[in-house]
Amino acid sequence: MATDALMSEADKALGEEICEFVKWVPRQLLLDMDEDKVKYPKEFLQEAGLRNLLGLRFDPKWGGRGLPWTSELIALEEVGVLGTSLGCLYALASIVGEAIHVFGTEAQKEKYLKPMIEGKIGPAEGLTEPRGGSDFFGATTVARRKGDVFVLNGQKRFIVGAEGADVLLIYAKVEGIEDPKRAMTAFLVERGTGVSVAHLYGLMGTRGGGTGRLVFNDAIVPVENVLGGEAGIGNGTRVFHQMMIPERLTSAGAAVGMARAAIEVAARYADKRTAFGRRIRDYEGVSFKVSESLTLLDAARTLNYAAGHAVDTHQGSGGKVRRLVSEAKKFATDAAWTVANHAMQILGGIGYTNIYPVERLLRDIRLITIWTGTNEIMDLVIQHEFYREFLRGSLKGRDLERDAAGAEYGEEKVY
């Protein structure tokens, strides 16, 4: 793989450790989840926690391993082979954990982050609302202060772990603050009166993760459960931007694993299956699909690694990191979709059945270009951050516009 040469001995050992955990996951669990027989596989998180494989980046003080992103990406790819649901449940400790790790009070870290990393409590995050997910700041869930508590009213849609998770990181706007960016606040909400699951979705894939619509009807949240406590009121925009790094890098990392799983199944099939008296992998129409898939996955791994390294080393402006992370998410998830389709095509008709897991992986992978910010939103971020830097004149080098014979005819340059 393209990034093998960049891996330390410790990274390789981590890869093996994760691989052992992935082998532990019961086949029946995957099948039951896909049939919606399971609502929330707590045992998966418990086992990952027991093996100290959750929240790898976080401070050992809270149970993490203090590893860089470049290592966590190795874990995400391995877990990704299990599909979107388990990949997501694994990643949520990294996503919700990031918010608590960076912005939480010591008490919040003790109460939520530590047991989350231990796999004892399952986290969920609520950003998307029925009226829209892309327009995050258009959210309508409100929090009204009443002394020492906030009263939450509103809804969140498509929340993985709506059914089953123990702590919900919910964004709501504090009533009375005009500017939506200054009103946005992140709350750590526990289940109780006023919090209910109104609907569980019938999903095309990514099943068994308890994805539902949450309703907050006068839900009481103590001020101490504002992420960051009193100081965290109105800090939701910063939390959101910070969380979008793991939100998107975890998608990018797991995408590579899912697509790798699909193409490995197809490649083995192509080595055995015959048509017109030859192995089908001897036909370019088949083998070049394998080549393209491997190349796409290596390109995705490399971009993921570069984005992860940029986050680890805080290289460049926040904007540059945001751009790289968005590029990684977009590229890896689009690549995974292409690869999953190549895999299905190679399998022919049998690929469209449940004899092989490729149809499940394909259904799962379809989601990842949509969630954690659609790939159109990734495009929006990428060009936005590019222009911000480009128009500031901070990109140095040769004046390229002058490399044309007619460059001096200024009157022809009409804008």
Ligand X SMILES: Cc1cc2nc3c(=O)[nH]c(=O)nc-3n(C[C@H](O)[C@H](O)[C@H](O)COP(=O)(O)OP(=O)(O)OC[C@H]3O[C@@H](n4cnc5c(N)ncnc54)[C@H](O)[C@@H]3O)c2cc1C
- Footprint on this chain of ligand X (rule: CB under 6 A): 125-128, 132-134, 158-160, 203, 206, 211, 367, 370-374, 376-377, 380
Rounded-to-integer distance, Cα 241 and Cα 59, Å? 20
Q: How far is the CB of 370 from ligand X (least distance, A)?
A: 6
Residue facing ligand X at closest CB distance: 133
In angstroms, give the least distance from the CB of 409 to ligand X. 37
* Contact call for residues 188 and 154 (beta carbons, < 8 A): no
Residue (262 or 377) nearer to ligand X, CB: 377
For ligand X, give the closer residue by CB, 46 or 374.
Answer: 374
Pick 162 or 174: Cβ nearer ligand X: 162
CB of 267 to ligand X, least distance (A): 28
Going from the C-alpha of 205 to that of each of 61, 90, 106, 110, the distances in angstroms are 37, 17, 38, 35
Q: Give all strands (DSSP E) within 62-148, no chain letters.
A: 123-126, 142-146
Structure tokens at 54: 């959750």
Q: Are 210 and 40 in contact (CB under 8 A)?
A: yes
Q: How far is the CB of 226 from ligand X (least distance, A)?
A: 18
Please give the single-letter amino acid code of residue 197.
V
CA nearest neighbour of 381 among 94, 102, 134: 134
How far apart are CB 388 and ligand X at their closest, in Å?
A: 17
> Looking at beta carbons only, is 67 or 168 nearer to ligand X?
168
Tell me how far, at minimum, the Cβ of 125 lies from ligand X, in Å. 5
CB of 244 to ligand X, least distance (A): 11
Displacement of CA 172 from its chain's centroid (Å): 21
Helices (H) and strands (E) in the chain, counts: 13, 9
Per residue in 308-324, is it b (16+ CB within 10 Å) or e — as a string? bbbbeeeeeeebbbbbb
Residue 113 or 169 having the CB closest to ligand X: 169
As beta bridge partners, residue 275 has: 278
Q: Which is nearer to ligand X, 149 or 197 (CB)?
A: 197
For ligand X, the closer of residues 201 and 283 by Cβ is 201
Closest CA to 76 of 264, 328, 289: 328
